[in-house]
Structure 1
Amino acid sequence: MGEEQDLDEAILRLLGAQEITDQAVLQRLLAAEGHAPSQSTLSRHLKRLSIQKVRGRYQRVEPGAAGPTQGVRVLEAPPNMLVLKTAPGYAQVVGVMVDRAPDIPGLAGTVAGDDTVFIAVRDPSLLAEVRSQVERLLRLVP
């Protein structure tokens, strides 16, 4: 069990120290430290540690997050902005979902970071309507 834990610690340390975009690169870095996991062993460890490739690089994600809309919070920022808070790594996916949604009247567009999406609304009088449509789109309300 000690070797398994050592491998887990090495994986977490390496991913925290640098951006790793490929499992083969991670395998080489681990080998340089005296670990030699096969690809299937490495994949099993990544899954157990809740590490996924997000936006092109491997990183730890919130365990149990079912998808990009899991746990999204919607905040109003009057007069004409909504702010969506997502799990780390999901803001861009959620932003694209909102941008591509048909028939959200008053939606000007979105700007997304890692865990935050800003939604611009053309007319401040439509803020509540856009919020309602976005919440329905993301299935935050029935």
Structure 2
Amino acid sequence: MHHSCMDLDALILHLLEASPITDQGDLLVRLAAQGHELTQSTLSRRLKRLGVQKVQGHYRRVEASAQLLPEVTITEVPPNLLVLRTAPGFAQALGLSLDAEPVPGLMGTLAGDDTVFVAVLPERLAEVKAHLTRVSAAR
């Protein structure tokens, strides 16, 4: 059965509103019953894009304006690495936002739970750090 992305997004949001879902595996089973076969990693990425987070044990959509952005500390690790530390659970969103608006010299990010490693061209390390410091202070 073929469905567009919008149909799948709407279905995911509908399922999350219709009943409490505490596990991505449960959501995958419910989606499969509706004709949508997804891998767990694909579902996880889609949930992030939709702004869905686990809140008090249940998955639900969280409005961006309702989110308080935590403090970010930036440590320079020469010759070409910046380490960004943030609150638990925010590193992947931070990494995605950095990748979405690339800065000259920023080559890529790798995010865990509360830490983002930012690979930078060595000659641009100070410049990228200054930019990220300004951006994180402006939030």
Partner of 1:129: 127
- Give the TM-score of the pair, scaled to structure 2: 0.52
Larger relative helix fraction: 2
Cα pair distance change 1:101/1:53, threshold 3 Å: same
Is contact 1:112-1:118 (8 Å) kept?
yes
d(CA) in 1 for partners of 2:128 and 2:21? 44
| Aligned residues: CA RMSD | 2.9
Runs of at least 4 residues off by over 4 Å: none
Cα pair distance change 1:125/1:88, threshold 3 Å: same
My pick for the range that moved more, 107-116 or 127-136, is: 127-136
Partner of 2:112: 113
1:11-44 CA deviation, whole Å, 9 max, x = no partner? xxxxxxxxxxx84559xxxxxxxxxxxxxxxxxx
**1:141 to partner: Cα distance:** 5.7
> 1:48-63, aligned counterparts within 5 Å?
53=54
Partner of 1:101: 101
d(CA) in 1 for partners of 2:92 and 2:113? 7
Gaps of 5+ in 2: 1-18, 24-52, 59-66
Gaps of 5+ in 1: 1-21, 27-51, 59-65
How many residues are matched? 85
Percent of counterpart pairs with the same letter? 48
